[in-house]
Amino acid sequence: MELLGERGSRVLRTVVVQYIATGEPVGSRLVSKLSGLNLSPASIRNLMTDLEERGFLRQPHTSAGRLPTALGFRYYVDHILPAVELGPRMQKQIKNALALPEVEPQELFRQASRVLSAVSGHPALVLAPRPQGMRLKHVQFINLGGDGVLTVLVAQDHQVQTRFVRSTTRCTQKQLDRFSHFLNEFCQNLTLGETRRQILARMEEDKNQFDKMVSQALSLSRQALQNEEEESLYIEGTSQILDYPEFSEDVEKIRTLFRAFEEKHHLITLLDQTLASQGVQIIISPDEHFPEMQLSVVASSYAGDHTPVGSLGIIGPMRMDYGRVIPIVRYTASMVTDLLKKWHS
């Protein structure tokens, strides 16, 4: 992206800051007063016209002031917005909210979404680690009566997942305990994806080399692991999107957003983009998922041991206050990382 000069940067910054604060088009007279350039409104108007021609600003109608475009916001967060650390008071609020007693990690992710939404004032998203990458510590099959079997998957990082399956043959708890023992012998410390591949490979081998118990154990395990790609997305504070007139006054936008909150896969795809990146990532106006919505996502990955395992962030209007939100997301991600590392140690 071609860099702007000092004057262009100051004008763009003033327009973006004022638009974030008011949601209204910003005129040249106001920019002349606030930009610190000591230029007349006519000179400012020329600079704004130049920024419009270069795609950083737009004019909703002829007599109005200007609004930042997605490109204008992108330039603002990449080149103009100063790095800000989160204040000690808000750090303490987030830290206290996440200072949970020894609980399952799922409760940490749920609480992270709650505090992130409460502190930021936006809907918050927390993508839990993928079950497929969950490294097994223990598997237990529990007889529920009839043909129902509960599978309990315990991960090395203490995550617990339960899955209900139906057995093709009725099994006693003693038989299920044998299945559990067999599976734990060769699947311990493998991921769910690796375990599933091991089981499928063994089932492809000459079935004559397996006794009935092994065949039943493999079959039951395959059913229990067939949904290993399901993902958990925790969402909190969805009603806060209605606080912004650009959404609350447009019924179709509200429908689109709440459908996304319900179906989740578009939001998971957006958060996925941050998993391979360091630090806070800002996705502005992701039109491939939300055409014409003028949304932004501010998100960061968090790590479990040494590598990123999930991500968290907030979603809101393109005119959100990035300078306030970015340090909130960064600090929350660092706190979740620290707590997960403690559980790993």
CA 295 to CA 316: how far, in whole Å?
Answer: 6
Asked whether residue 48 is assigned to any structural domain, the reply reads yes
Which residues sit opposite 317 in a β-bridge? Answer: 295
The tens-digit pLDDT sequence of the chain (345 residues) is 678 999 999 999 999 999 999 989 999 999 999 999 999 999 999 999 999 999 999 998 877 799 999 999 999 999 999 988 999 999 999 999 998 766 667 788 999 999 999 999 999 999 887 666 667 888 888 888 777 888 888 887 777 777 777 777 788 888 888 888 888 887 877 777 677 777 777 776 655 556 677 777 777 777 777 654 445 789 999 888 888 887 777 788 888 888 888 878 788 888 888 877 788 999 998 766 676 778 899 999 998 766 777 899 999 999 999 999 999 999 999 999 998 887 765
| Same-domain pairing of 313 and 266 | yes
Asked whether residue 1 is assigned to any structural domain, the reply reads no
250 token code pair: 């447009």
| Same-domain pairing of 190 and 267 | no
246 token code pair: 């650009």
In this predicted structure, what is the pLDDT of residue 247?
79
| Same-domain pairing of 296 and 170 | no
| Same-domain pairing of 149 and 20 | no
273 token code pair: 């983009």
Asked whether residue 158 is assigned to any structural domain, the reply reads yes
Whether the CB-CB separation of 171 and 146 falls below 8 Å is answered with: no
229 token code pair: 């790609």
Q: Tell me the CATH number at 28.
A: 1.10.10.10
Asked whether residue 217 is assigned to any structural domain, the reply reads yes
In this predicted structure, what is the pLDDT of residue 206?
55
251 token code pair: 């019924």
The residue from 225, 247, 281 where one domain ends is 225
The residue from 193, 210, 225 where one domain ends is 225
Number of domains in the chain: 3
| Same-domain pairing of 100 and 47 | no
In this predicted structure, what is the pLDDT of residue 290?
75
Q: Which of 321, 286, 282, 319 is nearest to 299 (CA)?
A: 282
| Same-domain pairing of 209 and 335 | no
Q: Are strands 124-127 and 233-236 parallel, antiparallel or unpaired?
A: antiparallel
CA 84 to CA 321: how far, in whole Å?
Answer: 12
pTM for the predicted model, two decimal places:
0.74
Which residues sit opposite 165 in a β-bridge? Answer: 149
Dihedrals phi, psi of 295, to nearest 5 degrees: -105, 160
Could you list the beta-strand ranges (E) of 250-307: 280-284, 295-303
| Same-domain pairing of 181 and 60 | no
| Same-domain pairing of 188 and 305 | no
CA 279 to CA 169: how far, in whole Å?
Answer: 50
Whether the CB-CB separation of 339 and 98 falls below 8 Å is answered with: yes
135 token code pair: 């490294």
| Same-domain pairing of 246 and 327 | yes
Q: Tell me the CATH number at 205.
A: 3.30.390.60
Whether the CB-CB separation of 284 and 260 falls below 8 Å is answered with: no
In this predicted structure, what is the pLDDT of residue 89?
95
CB atoms within 10 A of CB 56: 26
Please measure the distance between the N-terminal and C-terminal CA atoms of the chain and give it in whole angstroms: 44
Q: Give me the domain span that covers residue 272.
A: 88-129+231-344
CA 234 to CA 157: how far, in whole Å?
Answer: 19
Whether the CB-CB separation of 125 and 314 falls below 8 Å is answered with: yes
| Same-domain pairing of 291 and 159 | no
Q: Tell me the CATH number at 303.
A: 3.30.450.40
In this predicted structure, what is the pLDDT of residue 336?
92
- The torsion angle over the Cα atoms of residues 285, 323, 26 and 247, rounded to 10 degrees, is 40
Query: Please, which residues have CB within 8 angstroms of residue 54's CB and are 6 or more apart in sequence?
Result: 2
| Same-domain pairing of 254 and 305 | yes
| Same-domain pairing of 122 and 237 | yes
In this predicted structure, what is the pLDDT of residue 345?
59
